[in-house]
Amino acid sequence: MDDVKIGEILEPGSDDQRRSREERVRARFWKTVRKAAKAVPFLEEVVAGYFCALDPATPTKVRGILLASLAYFVVPLDFIPDIILGLGFTDDVAVLMAALTAIRTNITPAHRAAARKALEDLDRGGSLGD
């Protein structure tokens, strides 16, 4: 996946696009996290990005970038469909890595702590966001 494609995916978009992406992300995020747990090596950072995207104190542009990348992550039919064993999340990883690199300074210690706790709860069989 080239930089132009990733750049297009990560466009913050309009207010309506951000709202739509946020709804999609909220509805599908935890189910996708469960599926991607072994395929995404930096899953804690992805979950911290999720909490950052939902934080009203996060700048609008940053929220837009995160919501765009997370929306791509939660949609099962993308550039490489997530159902393809071993390859399904590779394009998602590229998009997420680009987004997280771009906004890394906006993820706070509170977002990271919430991510650790959520993943610990998930490991214990919790039902986050369902």
Assigned domain for 41 exists: yes
Domain that holds residue 54: 3-123
Q: How far is CA 84 from the centre of its chain?
A: 19
Assigned domain for 130 exists: no
Assigned domain for 128 exists: no
Which tens digits make up the pLDDT trace of 67-107? Answer: 999 998 887 665 555 444 455 567 778 888 999 999 999 99
Which tens digits make up the pLDDT trace of 4-15? Answer: 456 566 677 788
Assigned domain for 129 exists: no
Whether 113 shows a pLDDT value over 50: the answer reads: yes
Assigned domain for 19 exists: yes
For the chain, the domain total comes to 1
Q: What is the mean pLDDT of residues 103-124?
A: 94
Which tens digits make up the pLDDT trace of 40-62? Answer: 889 999 999 999 999 999 999 99
Q: How far is CA 54 from the centre of its chain?
A: 11
CA–CA gap between residue 118 and residue 56 (Å, rounded): 19
